[in-house]
Structure 1
């Protein structure tokens, strides 16, 4: 397994991984341009040049960074790839001067983020805009 930071993103490849990881239809998104414009960093896991894991970190330009889109190919799950992606992403955010790394997650991912990745639970709110 090879971990790459800020790797050149192929929109179709990342859209396919995202669809597989989240059990949805493939809808090609403009990942590369969005990441360049909005992300502090992104991290990919590769197996023989195949993208099998991904996470991005967005930020406020200051103390706060945010984990988004953590995804691991279903065939590569439960091997520690997601944990390593988040670990590298956290190190990148710290190196950029961030003091806090936030993550929102669905209840079934609590053990992953809280136990495996070391996040602390917090109260948060969510407002649906559309």
Structure 2
């Protein structure tokens, strides 16, 4: 839920709205208008960044999530950790949109979104 809190702060600092934010890649990628794309990063196990005294672990986790999205480009939907058609989800990205007030559509809570698993950190020899 840390991401929902961060997004709530971000929303108070910007003029972004529900009409310019999306939890679905295809509509976002093909929109003629710039917007904000929300996805979920599964940061756990071997994909969890190592502890680093110089970097807050939440920032390291966020960086790992952003790197997972970049690594999955140009078609991140092919790297989705959620099987196509799985409707037994609770969307944290949808929760974040509701929390910020950018949307009032409670259907977002059960709408699958892009979920990317983070990769293990590289081994440096």
For the pair shown, the structure with the greater C-alpha radius of gyration is 2
Between Structure 1 and Structure 2, the one with more strand by share is 1
Does the pair score TM above 0.5? no
TM-score, with normalisation over the residues of structure 2? 0.24
Between Structure 1 and Structure 2, the one with more helix by share is 2
Q: Which has the higher contact order (CA 8 A, sep 6+)?
A: 2
TM-score, with normalisation over the residues of structure 1? 0.24
